[in-house]
Amino acid sequence: MKVLKILGIAILILVALIIIVGLVVPKDYHVERTINISASKEQVFNHVKYWRNWQAWSPWAAQDSLMRVTIEGTDGEVGSKYIWVGDPELTGKGEMTNTGIKTYEEIAYHLHFLEPWESESDGYVRLIEVDEGVTQVAWGFQGEMPFPWNIIMLFMSMESMIGNDFDRGLGLLKNIIEQEKAAIESYKIQKIIFPAKNYAGIRDMVAFSGMQSFFQNSFSTLQQEIKKKNLRIIGAPAGIYFSWDEQNMNTDMAAAFPIRGSLSGGSVQMVHVPAQTAYLIDYFGDYESLGYAHQALDLYLTGNGLRQKSPVIEEYITDPISEPDTSKWLTKIYYFAE
């Protein structure tokens, strides 16, 4: 009995110590890491605000080949979600919800781990211009470890658990954005007068994933219709983009040929583009990498206080069938502005 009494007292003392320690040890945690990236705040912000870009610089995605990510809602806007399911022993299951955006300043999100254990915290990515063309990116998160789990923080800190991952992720982000910047700055932008043109085109709302087949089918149909009417094609085939929706991954566009004369009926309609000032890039390369040239034009207009006007035109000068070397494919990209 005496042994049991001593054991009982020892257990009570241990429980009391745990309670006392739990009440004393802080429940709040905050981890933040920073890195300087040689790029403008606009460029960095336009990259990190979209969940679809996070996978490329996530340190956890790099560790977990089983991780699968889905995005819900309108990516780049408040309420959109980044949902992942991965290896139960590495990344588990969870979701991040965009909870706030301050343009060119901050993206805030709520982090909810579901497996292997449930926890919640709030994260952010904050941008500060520290020098011309240099942006400091701060990636952090904060939350509360409830009693009695906060006692764990005596033996391991969030800094040691998460800090190194944040450093790796920011390093990946820096490499990606600085490579993007180098690609963007490699383009020469020309200010020209775009001559008035009349295009015969097929216009539709097209998913990004369906653009290739849309071009193939539309150009084939247009060539047949133009031949039937004995009209003449007077320039390169073109893509005319009236809107570009990154959030919903689709575009209001037309596949078109400049022609002499007029053609309409069925799915074919005429698109007139008047003579006006345009900003041009001669892009050489495959179509998958056209985005860098578009970013260069977009940043140029923004940096010079110019307001872009619809549409955007791509002229496909080189025939891919006759030229197998993609580095020689020439696409002329025109942005209009005022």
pLDDT in tens, 112-148: 988 877 778 899 999 999 998 899 999 988 866 654 5
Q: Is 72 helix (H, G, I), strand (E, B) or coil?
A: strand
| Buried-exposed string 35-73: b where 16+ CB fall within 10 A, e elsewhere | bebebbbbbbbbbbbbbebbeebbbbbeebeebeeebee
Q: Structure tokens of 128?
A: 């500060």
Q: What is the pTM of this model?
A: 0.65
pLDDT of residue 164: 86
Q: Is 77 helix (H, G, I), strand (E, B) or coil?
A: coil
Nearest to 166 by CA among 26, 28, 30: 30
Q: Structure tokens of 134?
A: 């240099």
- Whether 66 and 76 have beta carbons less than 8 Å apart is answered as no
Q: Structure tokens of 62?
A: 């790099």
pLDDT of residue 159: 66
pLDDT of residue 289: 87
pLDDT of residue 24: 46
pLDDT of residue 11: 52
List the domains of the chain with CATH numbers. 26-185 (3.30.530.20), 190-337 (3.20.80.10)
Give the H or E element holding residue 145: none
Long-range Cβ contacts of 169-173 (<8 Å, 24+ apart):
169/57, 169/58, 169/59, 169/139, 170/33, 170/34, 170/35, 170/57, 170/137, 170/139, 171/35, 172/56, 172/57, 172/58, 172/59, 172/62, 173/35, 173/37, 173/47, 173/48, 173/57, 173/137
pLDDT of residue 90: 78
pLDDT of residue 113: 84
pLDDT of residue 246: 76
Mean per-residue pLDDT pooled into runs of 10, the chain (338 residues): 49 46 56 92 89 89 85 90 87 91 92 81 93 92 62 56 86 92 88 96 94 94 92 95 86 95 86 96 93 88 83 96 94 95
